Chain A
Amino acid sequence: MDKLPWLGASVKRKEDDRLLRGSGRFLDDVEETLTLHVAIGRCPYPHARIRSIDVTRALGHSGVEAVLTGQQVVARTEAITALRPFAGSAPTAFYGMAQEVARYEGEPVVAVAAVDRYVAEDALELIDIDYEPLPHVVTVEDALRPGAPQLHATVPSNVVVESTVRAGEPDRRLADATVTVEGTFRINRVSGAPIETRGVIARWAEDSSTLELWASTQTPHLLRAQLAHCLRMDETDVRVIAPDVGGAFGLKIGVYPEDIIAALLAIDTRRPVKWIEDRTEFFRGAAHAREAVHTLTLAADRDGTLRALRDRYLIDLGAYHGPLGPPLLTNVMLAGPYRLHDADIHRRVVLTNKVPMGAYRGYGQAESNYVREVLVDRLARRLGQDPADFRRRNLLRPDELPFKNVSGVTYDSGDYARGLDLALSRVGYETFRARQKESGQQGRHVGVGMSCYVEFTGYPSSAFLGRGGARFGAYESVTVRMDRAGRAAISTGVSTFGQGTETTFAQIAASLLGLDPADVAIHRGDSKGTPYSVGGFASRTMIAGAGAIEKAAGQIRDKMLRIGGTILGVDPAALETTTGVVRRRDDPSVQVSIQRVSEAAFLGYPLPPGEDPGLEATAYFDPPSSAFGYGTVVVQVEVNARSGEFALQRYILVHDCGTQVNPMIVEGQVQGAVAQGIAAALFEELVYDRDTGQLVNGTMVDYFMPTAADLPVFELDHLETPSPVTPFGIKGVGEGGTIAAAAAITNAVCDALAPFGVELDRLPVTAESIWRALAAARAKG
């Protein structure tokens, strides 16, 4: 392959101009005449029977055009499907609106479409709803207790699915091991909380009998497929367009109840119907994430060789299984970068009366990293070993890769110990223990904590997904088209939500076609006019998208060489493309501009005999493998042992994400992910009151998203080991920064407070939780 001039270049982003000027077009910026605005009445109870709804006064209110109730929605639609149904899962019927029973605070119960949102909210207050509160459960323990209310008739004991992954002989290893440590860990329920909430505009196009939906979504094509299914329509009659999306992070995937509601109202009123989620709704409707309880056991020999892992964990799914449901990578990545052959991982996914869970950056990897790396530190401490030495002993070496882990996935390449060593040297680990002792003598408690991770990026083929029952593939697709001026346009179903795809896709295409990225336009996010796309999530877009662009651009380049050959009277095999021209490899003065070649394609002359006019190609790329990034986070903290207050003094991440298409964008992604990792580790938690079942802090005021003043400076080091199994050696990069924050910080705090024997076992880590852990350690004596 020829050198790729734009690969690895920190090209400034094409997206920026419009976004900086305020000309970005986000969902609420799309305005059409005659639009009706929707306000949704939501169940205020965690669990309630809806005895009656009287909408008469609302319908009579000036400015109200239509009202929709659950009875209509259930009668006219299908339940929301899972995009990754897990074999053996008990179904939960998740409709666009509750009809008889609402199962979480926030579940839609009625919707009003009116001339504006103010009037729609006025009308909601005129609707009389008679609720009969039912017994609720808002913890997994309560949901599993004998006699607990069963939330769905189809789900006995509130367990949606139970599954086990076993490898080797874990029982024997655990029994034989010299040392075992066990810990029970509670992981907080959080929200991705993008600054732009959800939103949708539905419009029924009378002339074509089609439904057009603008949605703030990461997955236009998947939303289209799911929505068509729910509405009992042909997919061909549904179009989904994603405008600029103001952040997504996994929670804007697939169909939501509000999409169904807006669509029905649009069909009924024959007017555009717009719903913009307000922030109060957001915390009670947009997918929640991560909450789980793990009881993990690690076993090792006296010399510190890890032998086996056992995990029993519960995932708090919420009231329904939505499009994505529980994270799946907890299981897959639990063993991490270590040499482990024996494992027993048992999972139960449990229903509670809370907002349904969905995907959030990491998809289970932050959870698995937290429980494992904190327990690794406890194990090292029990053995009297330095946590870095313990890890080095057990980290897989490069020559051991590819390595199939206990969950059945194969790590392709990586030098995990190198990442650890680099991060530790950054913090000055060799001299740290001496400094720690000195500080201790001054009554100050400083600590260093580390966490190593391997990161699953991309999906290893559609076959892998399909065998698992997924309703989407692993591929991406593009159509690349040249115009007669010799410029390219890429059509992709992937939407823009901050990840820089418009720029990076242009860089790859430009490299392959001999163009400048400025001459590659990107049309994105519209299901009409783009080939089937899966969407932007799972750190897969660059891998799969690059492959698709490579194929399509390859076809176009070959045709450009053929046409160039005809124009120049030269055998195409002797030609090459380079910036702006097609030319003879051995005599560059013999050349023709790409513009001239493109023009010939559109005139249909001069072309080689038998060649069709036009210069475009559509290609799908199905990655045959996942690529595994990896890294280490090292954190230095100082803790006040009296108050529990603490400060992050250093935050270091060394990571390997493979070939970087645009290093500037990679770094931005990592920084953003790190911030979210720290946010979930130290600040955020969605709190439900056990007695009332109510979400206590569902507002921006009480859900503590960190500000610039709350976060440290991140020290990032990028290693670049091209993956052997992906196009250009690219690995996914969007999620890694979230993975190791909680464990590294927890380990650092415990290291600082080691003289007190403190153990932390829940998130978020706060001054109060540290104070309580200190008290508990003292009580234990």
Chain B
Amino acid sequence: MTVALLVNGRPYERSVESRRLLVDFLRHELQLHGTHVGCEQGVCGACTVLLDGEPVKSCLMLAPQAHGHSITTVEGLAGRGELHPVQQAFRDAHALQCGYCTPGFLLGAVALADRGVALEGAALREELAGNLCRCTGYQNIVEAVERYLRQAAAGRRDG
């Protein structure tokens, strides 16, 4: 069957097997390798993408379901240019080590910023609980996202 969708603002139309997981479609049909597979059970969150701006686990969707939708992957953040502010925040806070879980966290943080939510501490940790990290112990990730959300909120205030 055919699936037509936007990914990172670009239109794609592809023929796809019904049972193809969305994450496999993004990675292997569209060659967007930044979204990662960690469990295929919807627990680790490494496969997180934005579907119409909301974070979802792409291992929990069949590719045909994405027809007509708009997906953002990590590749859609910086493009070829400068790092996106969320990426810069992660770099500054040393919020990544092996980097495998990182794209999922980045997109989740961007969605939070878009919702205008400047969470911190325990409330933020709950929001991030859908993404597992095994390298960092989360502390620097929380710091990076807090800093990024504060910046984003200030940016909005200042117009």
**A residues engaging B (CB < 8 A)?**
12-13, 15-26, 28-29, 31, 118, 192-197, 244-249, 276, 278-279, 496-500, 664-665, 667-669, 671-676, 699-701, 705, 707-711, 713-714, 737
Contacts and interface: CB of A to CB of B under 8 A. Distances in A.
Given A16-B96, A20-B99, A246-B100, A714 B139 contact: yes
Nearest to A675: B137
B35 A13 contact: no
B134 A247 contact: yes
B40 A279 contact: yes
Given A196-B100, A671-B137, A699-B41, A246 B34 contact: no
Contacts of A17: 83, 91
Interface in B21-42: 27-28, 31-41
- If over half of A's interface residues share one DSSP class (helix, strand or loop), that class is named, otherwise mixed; here it is loop
B46 interface: yes
A22 B34 contact: yes
Given A19-B96, A20-B74, A708-B138, 7 more contacts: A22-B33, A22-B73, A22-B74, A192-B134, A244-B98, A276-B37, A498-B135
27 contacts: A12-B92, A13-B91, A17-B83, A19-B96, A20-B96, A20-B99, A22-B33, A22-B34, A22-B75, A23-B33, A23-B34, A25-B33, A194-B135, A195-B134, A196-B38, A196-B98, A244-B99, A246-B101, A248-B98, A276-B37, A279-B39, A279-B40, A279-B41, A498-B98, A668-B136, A675-B134, A707-B129
Contact of B74 (A16, A21, A29): A21
B103 interface: yes
B133 interface: yes
- If over half of B's interface residues share one DSSP class (helix, strand or loop), that class is named, otherwise mixed; here it is loop
A671 B140 CA distance: 9
A13 B138 contact: no
Interface string B122-134: 1001101111111
B102 interface: yes
Interface string B86-100: 010011101011111
B129 A708 contact: yes
A78 B68 CA distance: 53
Contacts of A196: 36, 38, 98, 100
A247 B101 CA distance: 10
A20 B35 contact: no
B98 A701 contact: no
B10 interface: no
B7 interface: no
A402 B139 CA distance: 35
Contact of B33 (A29, A249, A665): A29
A755 B136 CA distance: 37
B142 interface: yes
Interface of B: 17, 19-20, 27-28, 31-41, 43-44, 46, 73-75, 77-78, 83, 87, 90-92, 94, 96-103, 106, 122, 125-126, 128-142
4 closest pairs, A vs B, by CB?
Answer: A22-B34, A19-B99, A246-B100, A675-B137
B38 A195 contact: yes
B122 A195 contact: no
B90 A20 contact: yes
A104 B145 CA distance: 43
B33 to A, nearest CB: 4
B115 to A, nearest CB: 18
A28 B128 contact: no
A441 B11 CA distance: 67
B99 A498 contact: yes
A672 B137 contact: yes
Most A Cβ at <10 Å: residue of B129, B130, B138, B142:
B138
Contact of B137 (A16, A246, A500, A714): A714
Nearest to B128: A708
Contacts of A675: 134, 136-138
A245 B98 CA distance: 7
Nearest to B75: A22
B92 to A, nearest CB: 7
B134 A249 contact: yes
A709 B131 CA distance: 10
Nearest to B124: A708
Given A498-B97, A674-B137, A278 B128 contact: no
Nearest to B17: A118
Nearest to A196: B100
A499 B98 CA distance: 7
B32 to A, nearest CB: 8
Contacts of B40: 278-279
A24 B91 CA distance: 14
A708 B134 contact: no
B132 A707 contact: yes
Contacts of B73: 22
Contacts of A25: 33
A705 B90 contact: no
Given A708-B138, A711-B138, A700 B75 contact: no
Contact of A195 (B77, B87, B92, B133): B133
Contacts of A247: 97-98, 100, 134-135
B33 A708 contact: no
Most B Cβ at <10 Å: residue of A24, A26, A29:
A24
Most A Cβ at <10 Å: residue of B91, B99, B138:
B99
Most B Cβ at <10 Å: residue of A24, A195, A705:
A195
B97 A668 contact: yes
Contacts of A668: 94, 97, 135-136, 140
A196 B132 CA distance: 11
Nearest to A119: B17
Contact of A701 (B41, B75, B87, B128): B41
Contacts of B98: 19, 194-196, 244-248, 496-498
B43 A701 contact: yes
A20 B87 contact: yes
Contacts of B138: 675, 707-708, 711
B90 A664 contact: no
Contacts of B83: 17, 20-21
B132 A195 contact: yes
A69 B152 CA distance: 57
A130 B36 CA distance: 36
B140 A26 contact: no
B34 A667 contact: no
Most B Cβ at <10 Å: residue of A118, A246, A248:
A246
A25 B44 CA distance: 19
Contact of B134 (A23, A194, A496): A194
A667 B74 contact: no
Contacts of B97: 247, 498-500, 668-669, 672
Nearest to A245: B98
B102 A118 contact: no
B134 A676 contact: yes
Most B Cβ at <10 Å: residue of A21, A498, A711:
A21
Most A Cβ at <10 Å: residue of B27, B101, B135:
B135
A223 to B, nearest CB: 18
Most B Cβ at <10 Å: residue of A31, A247, A500, A664:
A247
Contacts of A710: 129
Given A17-B83, A711-B137, A28 B27 contact: yes
A158 to B, nearest CB: 32
A711 B128 CA distance: 12
Contacts of B27: 28-29
Contacts of A707: 125, 128-132, 138
Nearest to A278: B40
A672 B99 contact: no
Most A Cβ at <10 Å: residue of B34, B122, B142:
B34
A467 B35 CA distance: 46
Contacts of B43: 700-701
Contacts of B78: 20-21
Contacts of A193: 134
Contact of B122 (A18, A276, A709): A709
A655 to B, nearest CB: 14
A726 to B, nearest CB: 23
